[in-house]
Amino acid sequence: MGSENTNNTKGFSLLKLALFLLIVIIVAGVTLYSFLDINPLDVLKEGVTGLYNRIFTVGSSEIDTLKETVKTVATIDKSENIHCTTVSNNLVVASISSVKIVDPDGMEKAYIPVSLKKPFVQSYLDDTLVADLAGHYFALIMNNRIAWEKNIDEIIVNASISDTWILLITESEQSGYKRTIRAYSRDGQEISFRTVSNYYPFAIMNYPEFNKASFAVSSIEVSGLEANGLFEFLDPSMNQKASIKGKSEIFGGSFPMAEERLFVYGENSIMAIDNGFRTVWENNFDGFSITAANVIRGKFPVVALLNSEVLSRDRRHLTTLKIYNDNGTEKTHFDIDAKVTGISSKKKTAAIIAESEVLFINEDGQIMDRYTAKSDVKGVYLASDDIAYVVTADTISRVKVKVTQKFLGIF
């Protein structure tokens, strides 16, 4: 009997020891991966000596890489017209003569000759749409090469891509019509179109996170000397499902939010719309004009409000940056002594373009990092929440962003 108790006690002690060792291994693995960027599986392959060499015997080139937070990945002729987007961690640069894909180290991964008057590129996941916004050409790039390309009769005004659709707005050549809205499948087959006679559509998007079966179209209605905005939703057959008329303002853009909602901003107002096309909440701004907007983490709209009174009285730019909760209540705000011309977002990071400076903020309005260029910044393209490509008049720089750290890199 005593022997059995002794054996049970030893077995229980061994189990506790095994659990303790397992916890130590898990914590060590998380530490290696989160703080030292070492895959625990590599430790098993390389052994203790290999681990020691990776931590303590770092070569000079690796030290340079660790220290390097900003790297020039491309130079641009100041007279050259380019447009950019990101695919995975890579940057896509479209010019009048080529589409280039470069990695974060500036190494060219693809070079595709094209002939464009006004280059435009937009990506969705790993695929890129390229279009000539003053010509007739558009194409789809997959796996760093052209999957298909087309030329159409009408001049392209706007283009976009989603998981299912490629959408175009073109200048109509039909008598009595102003523009044409076109929907193509991802293999380049035209599915439907809609000709418009009494207003000017200028932007179109499909947001699968919001509603896979609707196209969001922003337009301008012109009557005499007045111009008003029209934001409408079309189904794949181009039938209108709903519309919102601007109150003496034009709608600047829209972004998908969580819970199948869409964030829409105009010149002086913001709103959230549900997938039944009903307004969930709306905020209006007197004495301010919206110069840029976006959504952080799909939950928190961020808006740049230029103070019209200060601009008129003092001839200087004062921008209030406001972040909202998903129910339309204000979460936080702060002021910037500059004009904000753009906001891009990826996961938990938003990049605020303020003349020659870029502020990288999180959903709480905390400035996690900043980058100052030698001239005004023309665009920022986030490849991830900690990798940004900053475009100025003559340079494209890759910036490694210092994002807010999580506990053990997880929570």
How confident is the model at residue 36, as a pLDDT?
45
- 37 pLDDT higher than 50: no
pLDDT at 3: 54
Percent of the chain clearing pLDDT 90 (strictly above): 78
d(CA 210, CA 262): 6
Share of the chain above pLDDT 70, in %: 82
For residue 30, pLDDT over 60 is answered with no
Q: Is residue 321 part of a domain?
A: yes
Write out the two tokens for 124. 């969705």
Rounded to an integer, the average pLDDT of 352-372 is 96
The total of structural domains in the chain comes to 2
- Cβ–Cβ under 8 Å, residues 335 and 369: no
Mean pLDDT for 361-367 is 96
pLDDT for residue 23:
74
Average pLDDT over residues 114-137: 97
Q: For residue 102, is it within any domain?
A: no
Q: Provide the CATH number for the domain around residue 360.
A: 2.130.10.10
Contact (Cβ atoms closer than 8 angstroms) between residue 144 and residue 110: yes
How much is the pLDDT for 404?
78
Q: What pLDDT is attached to residue 224?
A: 72
Least confident of 116-120, 247-251, 265-269: 247-251
- Of 19, 42, 61, the position where a domain reaches its end is 61
The first and second tokens of residue 101, run together, are: 């894909």
* pLDDT above 80 for 284: yes
Phi, psi of 393 (to 5 degrees): -65, -30
Q: What is the pLDDT of residues 82-102, one digit of tens each?
A: 999 999 899 999 999 999 999
* Distances 108 to 76, 102, 116, 200 between C-alpha atoms, Å: 15, 4, 20, 39
Average pLDDT, the chain: 88
SS3 assignment, position 379: strand
φ, ψ of residue 34 in degrees (nearest 5): -80, -40
pTM: 0.82
Q: Is residue 35 part of a domain?
A: yes
Residue 169 lies inside a defined structural domain of this protein = no
Write the pLDDT tens digit of every residue in 44-81.
545 545 544 444 444 444 444 444 689 999 999 988 99
Give the pLDDT score at 243.
96
**What is the pLDDT at residue 24?**
66
Residue 4 has pLDDT above 70, yes or no: no
Average pLDDT in the 220-239 region?
A: 91
Q: How far is CA 71 from the centre of its chain?
A: 21
pLDDT value of residue 103: 95
What's the pLDDT at 225?
Answer: 74
Residue 247, pLDDT score: 84
User: Do the domain assignments include residue 192?
Assistant: no
Helix 40-56 with 2-35: angle, nearest 10 deg: 60
Q: What integer pLDDT is reported at residue 29 of this predicted model?
A: 58
Mean pLDDT (whole number) for 286-306 = 97
The kind and range of the H/E element at 26 are helix 2-35
| Residue 116, pLDDT score | 97
Domain termination residue (choose one: 61, 85, 110): 61
Residue of 403, 397, 407 whose CA lies nearest to 72: 397
In a domain, 339, yes or no: yes
367 in a structural domain: yes
Residue 270's pLDDT is 98
- Count of helices and strands (H, E) across the chain: 4, 32
244 confidence band (pLDDT: 50, 70, 90): very high
- Quick one: average pLDDT of 134-138? 98
Any domain includes 93: no
Pick the closest to residue 302 from 275, 334, 273 (CA basis): 334
Whether residue 133 has pLDDT greater than 50? yes
Which domain does 342 fall in, by range?
285-411
pLDDT, tens digit, 9 for 90 and up, residues 162-199: 999 999 999 999 999 999 999 999 999 999 999 999 99
Please say which residue of 13, 44, 61 terminates a domain. Answer: 61
